[in-house]
Amino acid sequence: MSVSRRRMLGLAAATAAFGGLARVSAQPAQVFGYGPLRPDPDSLFDLPEGFSYKIVSRAGQPMDDGFLTPGKLDGMACFPLDAERVILVRNHELRSVDAANSPFGRDGALAAKVPKDRAFDILPEGRPLAGGTSTLVWNLRQQRLETHHLSLTGTVVNCAGGRTPRRTWLSCEESDLRPGSEAGKAHGWVFEVPADLRGLADPTPITGMGRFKHEATATDPRTGVVYLTEDQTDGEGLFYRYLPSDPARLHAGGRLQALGFREGAEADPRNWKRRYWKVGERRNAVWIDLDGVDNPHDDLRHRGHAAGAAWFARGEGIVWGDGELYFTCTSGGPDNNGQVLRYRPSPREGQPGEKDQPGVLQLFVEPASGEGLTMCDNLTVSPRGHLFVCEDKYMGRNRLQAITPRGRIYDFGSNAQGRLGPAPNSELAGVCFSPDGSTLFVNIYSPGITLAITGPWAAFRA
């Protein structure tokens, strides 16, 4: 970093630095980074020497609006509020009935506080479905939580999402739940939550973005195009884009498309059965129109693939950088260790003439076994231009890894739960930086803890 913590880089500098990642294909080699991780005496989260964390909030903690902090903390974004404070909007990946982690308490008594028009779906007994978002205000200078409240409710499995240029958070349902005993409505939508809202958001889904197992979004601030990932556990998901009729009003409708290649459905970027491409290689994108995006038969991805869209292996985190985006495929690659893909849009993205100057997709990272960065999930970009990537693996300790602009990987943090006992080692999620670069936020999905990490960011060593 070119400045000290007393003079942090702004968000514009962060996105410019991120463009440097495009110049080098990442190789799975370790660098020093910030040094070896030091065991946390509280067995919560290990960090390099000089770094420390504060607990922002915990699941079950009472919030200012009288609800309880929901559990299963997943995707998250950070917005500037003023010179000292930031806003965090945070997803909660709760199933339809999840009393143990619900904002309404185990007995559901707090559900009566929710206005009926502010819950997307309500069970017959009057309890909104447990998923949604919470919004927090964190004071960077004093390192303390100032306010927190429930900001979206009545949804399910709110996994990740993405920030928009309009200071809103797009919260994605990773679900294909249909009306029945667990829900009164179909689920699998995207909802918009204003960062500055002090109550519950309008729970109207953006139906034009389709109904499927959404994971995350990234919005191009120049065009308003929204890119979306799909997390299908069988590895047969698509990569989408939404061309809004009005970028300022996503609910006004638009076109949903899926990415393919010139070879059609025969192209397989997962590198599972055969190696379609090597690290650093690029392919021109073809975008395929989709219809029936309300997807009542849960066959949108199969119809898209039949029309020529490519399969992606559990598309998860996605982040917008300097004129391009990166997204992760958690089980991609021959060893199922995951992939990081890079997409640079066409100068005519979504417009006439795009076919003559198509967007380009690149296989950026694909680590083999033992080379670090296993089962990559949520990710963000640091003010240094490094990708910070959360792991979501089923065995072993989940780490927070980083990739430098020169394409090298280093450890930055690790979930320390279970080191001294049988506690589960949860995935990490929701990684994001404060706009001034002073603080890194990350969620420990279970038991549900948000951390604010500070330290000597200028001390990085290649």
Residue 225: which domain range?
Answer: 5-459
E strand segments, 300-383: 315-320, 325-329, 339-344, 360-365, 376-381
Strands 254-260 and 239-244: antiparallel
Q: What is the DSSP string of 112-123?
A: GGS-GGG-S-B-
CATH number of domain containing 310: 2.120.10.30
| Distance between CA atoms of residues 10 and 300, nearest Å | 40
| Distance between CA atoms of residues 193 and 433, nearest Å | 19
The proportion of the chain whose per-residue pLDDT surpasses 90, expressed as a percent, equals 84
Residue 8 is predicted with a pLDDT of 30
Bridge partner list, 409: 30, 403
Q: What is the DSSP string of 111-164?
A: GGGS-GGG-S-B-TTSPBPSEEEEEEEEETTTTEEEEEEEEEEEE--EEEEEE-
Count of domains forming the chain = 1
- Is 80 exceeded by the pLDDT of residue 182? yes
Residue 1 is predicted with a pLDDT of 32
| Distance between CA atoms of residues 285 and 259, nearest Å | 6
Interval 253-295: pLDDT, tens = 999 999 999 999 899 999 999 999 999 999 999 999 999 999 9
Of 98-107, 349-358, 369-378, 434-443, the range with the lowest mean pLDDT is 369-378
At 21, the pLDDT band (50, 70, 90 cuts) reads low
Q: What is the DSSP string of 428-461?
A: EEEEEE-TTSS-EEEEETTTTEEEEEE--GGG-B
CB neighbourhood size of 157 (10 A):
27
- Is 80 exceeded by the pLDDT of residue 178? yes
| Distance between CA atoms of residues 400 and 427, nearest Å | 10
Q: Which SS3 state, helix, strand or coil, does residue 250 take?
A: helix
Residue 404 in contact with residue 393, Cβ under 8 Å?
no
Bridge partner list, 84: none
Query: Which CA distances in Å does 28 have to 184, 250, 265, 404?
Result: 47, 39, 29, 11
| Distance between CA atoms of residues 223 and 370, nearest Å | 40
Query: Which CA distances in Å does 107 have to 38, 82, 115?
Result: 41, 38, 18
Residue 243 in contact with residue 225, Cβ under 8 Å?
yes
> Phi and psi of 327, rounded to 5°?
-140, 155
Q: Rounded mean pLDDT of the chain? A: 91
Interval 27-73: pLDDT, tens = 456 889 999 999 999 999 999 999 999 999 999 999 999 999 999 99
Q: In the structure encoding, which two tokens stand for residue 38, read together?
A: 């030091």
Interval 387-439: pLDDT, tens = 999 999 888 899 999 998 777 899 999 999 976 555 568 999 999 999 999 99
Q: What is the DSSP string of 253-283?
A: -EEEEEEE-TTGGG--TT-SSS----TT-EE
Residue 384 is predicted with a pLDDT of 87
pTM of structure: 0.93
Mean of the pLDDT values across residues 153-158? 98
Residue 371 is predicted with a pLDDT of 65
Provide the edge-to-edge strand list for the sheet that holds 339-344.
Answer: 282-284, 360-365, 339-344, 325-329, 315-320
| Distance between CA atoms of residues 242 and 255, nearest Å | 6
Place of tokens 């994605």: 172
Place of tokens 């992939």: 339
Residue 274 in contact with residue 245, Cβ under 8 Å?
no
Angle at 41 between CA 35 and CA 42, to 5 degrees: 120
Bridge partner list, 329: 315, 339
29 or 202: which leads in pLDDT? 202
**Residue among 131, 163, 164, 166 nearest 150 (CA):** 131
